[in-house]
Structure 1
Amino acid sequence: MALEKPYQDIPGTIIFDAEQSRKGYWLNQFCMSLMKAENRERFKANERAYLDEWPMTEEQKQAVLARDLNWCMRTGGNIYFLAKIGATDGKSFQYMAASMTGMTQEQYAQMMINGGRSIEGNRFSGERN
């Protein structure tokens, strides 16, 4: 029996729940492997070969290769695990967050300094007037 998930009605939001956790288990395990220097080096030397050592879906592998974090999240990735990919690439978390919004790092930083993203368009779909 499926649980009711009212949070699925928030536009542009992926909630990392039990279902997402199961879907992204191997993707997130791959990300955690990047905490070890030797694994980061192996990944950087041949990304595809290293990814093929993990029982991830082809879609997950393509999302990682594309460095498309939104795609990674849709396939079960958790942003805290995915941050290991950015760190391996020498990218800051701020850079990664900006890439997920379509902004430059500078635009993203200024938005956050100004108080964050507007609530407009980010409410539950059912709350719209």
Structure 2
Amino acid sequence: METAHFDHHSPIPGTTLFDGRQAMKGYALNKMCYSFNAKAARDEYLADPEAYFDKFKLNETQKQACRNKNVLEMIAAGGNIYYLAKFAGIYKLGVQDVGAQQTGVTTEEFKQKLLRAGD
């Protein structure tokens, strides 16, 4: 297969490319999510999310995405899915919850879609 002319950076509709620009954009958000490795940090966050956002200097877009518990908004705000998984875990959001957000359906609809795909 000829790959010399293949553009490995072709945009995929609806996909946010996590590159250096996104990494810099999301540094504060990802740093906050990384902190959730420690139980004490998770407890501190749950006690006062707004103060925790300020502690890590999140911008308003990142704060609102976190308030909404919307992983797609967090990705658009520079979040890396590996760090965001730590955030999702605080709220007991599983892979199916995130998949539902990505496809624009409820979690139950997404589960049913997966079951139908397995038939």
TM-score class, shorter: 0.7 to 0.9
For residues 54 and 86 of structure 2, the distance between their equivalents in structure 1, rounded to whole angstroms, comes to 18
Q: 1:30 aligns with which of 29, 32, 45?
A: 32
Measure how far apart 1:47 and its partner are.
0.6
Matched, 1:7 2:16: no
Aligned-partner residue type, residue 67 of structure 2: L
Greater RCO (CA < 8 Å, at least 6 residues apart) = 1
Which residue of 1 is the match for residue 90 of structure 2? 88
Aligned residues: 111
Structure 2 CA distance for partners of 1:56 and 1:108, relative to 1, 3 Å: same
Deviations, residues 73-93 of structure 1 (Å, cap 9, x unaligned): 111011121111110112212
Segments of structure 1 that go 5 or more residues without pairing to the other structure are 116-129
Identity %, equivalent residues: 36
Aligned-partner residue type, residue 109 of structure 1: K
For residues 91 and 75 of structure 1, the distance between their equivalents in structure 2, rounded to whole angstroms, comes to 19
- Tell me if the contact between 1:7 and 1:15 (Cα under 8 Å) persists in the aligned partners: no
TM-score normalised to structure 2 length: 0.81
- Tell me if the contact between 1:26 and 1:54 (Cα under 8 Å) persists in the aligned partners: yes
* C-alpha RMSD over aligned residues: 1.9
TM-score normalised to structure 1 length: 0.75
Deviations, residues 13-67 of structure 1 (Å, cap 9, x unaligned): 1111111111111111111111111111111111101111012212111111111
For residues 33 and 6 of structure 1, the distance between their equivalents in structure 2, rounded to whole angstroms, comes to 31
Measure how far apart 1:72 and its partner are.
0.8
